[in-house]
């Protein structure tokens, strides 16, 4: 790391958004202090560092906070441009394309349909959420074919912004398979993504950042049980 740089990550282990930042820091080869937040009792540091949303992740660099995972990843790439591999292309057009697909991952895979499938109260809602997720994944299969240019990653020969954005979801996607029996990256339907997932998961930087699948499964089941109990309680009032 560059001399004098102090990096502190405020996060929560189960959050894929926090995992995203850890991945970026690891791939850049940067040392950082990993501060686990209790989201039911948020620290003063978190509340003062992100007074607008009061959410993790927050990267504190030499006392200055940066919020929102995709913004943090891009900040890391720019602030430490001379360290480790570049996470974004140097060409403006290719950089814009990478940002587009990173946003697509959040909008079409993480935030809406996939989360809907996990939180669904009925089989119909779950089915619809998974249907939308599979449609988005098939689109990403085409994006990987185009962006990789025959290499192993969305970033080409090396991991880039889109790889980190999608890679941050891998523990949760694997947990979904354990819980529901549904394989999101099907080797038959999306062979490129299935191979990419295996390749990405074996990287040392990824293994150091991704939470254990069994731990995520336990966490997800606990959250589902809490949500079901809360819904049942509201119906009896």
Do 212 and 122 lie in one domain? The reply is: yes
**pLDDT, greater one: 22 or 125:** 22
Which of these ranges, 37-51, 107-121, 158-172, 184-198, has the smallest mean pLDDT?
107-121
Do 212 and 108 lie in one domain? The reply is: yes
Do 33 and 131 lie in one domain? The reply is: no
For residue 204, give its domain range: 92-218
φ/ψ (deg, to 5) at 227 = -65, -40
The pLDDT confidence band at residue 109, using thresholds 50, 70 and 90, is confident
Which of these ranges, 10-19, 104-113, 133-142, 216-225, has the smallest mean pLDDT?
104-113
The residue-averaged pLDDT of 57-83 equals: 97
- Cis omega before residue 57 (within 30°)? yes
Percent of the chain predicted with pLDDT > 70: 92
Q: Does the residue 119 lie in any domain?
A: yes
Q: State pTM to two decimals.
A: 0.93
**Please, are residues 66 and 21 in contact by the beta-carbon 8 Å criterion?**
no
Domain boundary among 80, 113, 140: 80
With a cut of 50, say whether residue 1 has pLDDT above it: no
Average pLDDT in the chain: 91
pLDDT score for 100 = 97
Do 98 and 29 lie in one domain? The reply is: no
What's the 3-state SS for the chain? CCCCCCEEEEECCCCHHHHHHHHHHHHHCCCCEEEECCCCCCCHHHHHHCCCCCCCCEEEECCEEEECHHHHHHHHHHHCCCCCCCCCCCCHHHHHHHHHHHHHHHHHHHHHHHHHHHHCCCHHHHHHHHHHHHHHHHHHHHHHHHHHCCCCECCECCCCHHHHHHHCCHHHHHHHHHHHCCCCCCCCCCHHHHHHHHHHHCCHHHHHHCCCHHHHHHHHHHHHHHHHHHHHHHHCC
With a cut of 60, say whether residue 202 has pLDDT above it: yes
- Measured CA angle at 135 (ends 87, 12), to 5 deg: 50
Do 97 and 211 lie in one domain? The reply is: yes
With a cut of 50, say whether residue 216 has pLDDT above it: yes
* Count of structural domains, the chain: 2
The residue-averaged pLDDT of 164-191 equals: 92
Dig out the tokens for 59 from the structure: 């990267």
Q: How far is CA 55 from CA 51, 195, 211, in A?
A: 9, 33, 19
The pLDDT confidence band at residue 228, using thresholds 50, 70 and 90, is confident
pLDDT score for 14 = 95
Do 171 and 137 lie in one domain? The reply is: yes
Query: CB-based contacts of 2: which residues, under 8 Å, 6+ apart?
Result: 80, 82, 83
CATH number at residue 48: 3.40.30.10
Q: Does the residue 22 lie in any domain?
A: yes
Do 65 and 169 lie in one domain? The reply is: no
pLDDT score for 53 = 97
Q: Does the residue 128 lie in any domain?
A: yes
């Amino acid at each position: 790391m560059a001399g004098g740089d102090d990096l502190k990550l405020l996060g929560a282990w189960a959050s894929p958004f926090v995992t995203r930042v850890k991945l970026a820091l690891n791939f850049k080869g940067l040392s950082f202090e990993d501060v686990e937040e209790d989201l039911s009792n948020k620290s003063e540091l978190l509340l003062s560092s992100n007074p607008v949303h009061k959410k993790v992740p927050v990267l504190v660099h030499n006392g200055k906070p940066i919020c929102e995972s995709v913004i943090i990843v891009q900040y890391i790439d720019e602030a430490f441009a001379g360290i480790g591999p570049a996470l974004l292309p140097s060409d403006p057009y290719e950089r814009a394309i990478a940002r587009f697909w990173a946003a697509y991952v959040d909008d079409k895979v993480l935030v809406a349909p996939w989360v809907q499938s996990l939180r669904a109260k009925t089989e119909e809602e779950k089915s619809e959420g998974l249907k939308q997720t599979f449609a988005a994944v098939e689109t990403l299969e085409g994006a990987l074919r185009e962006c990789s240019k025959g290499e192993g990653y969305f970033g080409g020969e090396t991991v880039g912004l889109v790889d980190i954005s999608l890679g941050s979801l891998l523990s949760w996607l694997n947990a979904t398979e354990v819980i529901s029996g549904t394989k999101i990256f099907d080797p038959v339907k999306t062979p490129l993504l299935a191979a990419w997932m295996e390749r990405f998961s074996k990287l040392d930087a990824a293994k150091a950042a991704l939470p254990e699948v069994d731990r995520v499964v336990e966490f997800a089941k606990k959250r589902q049980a809490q949500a079901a109990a809360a819904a049942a309680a509201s119906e009896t009032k």
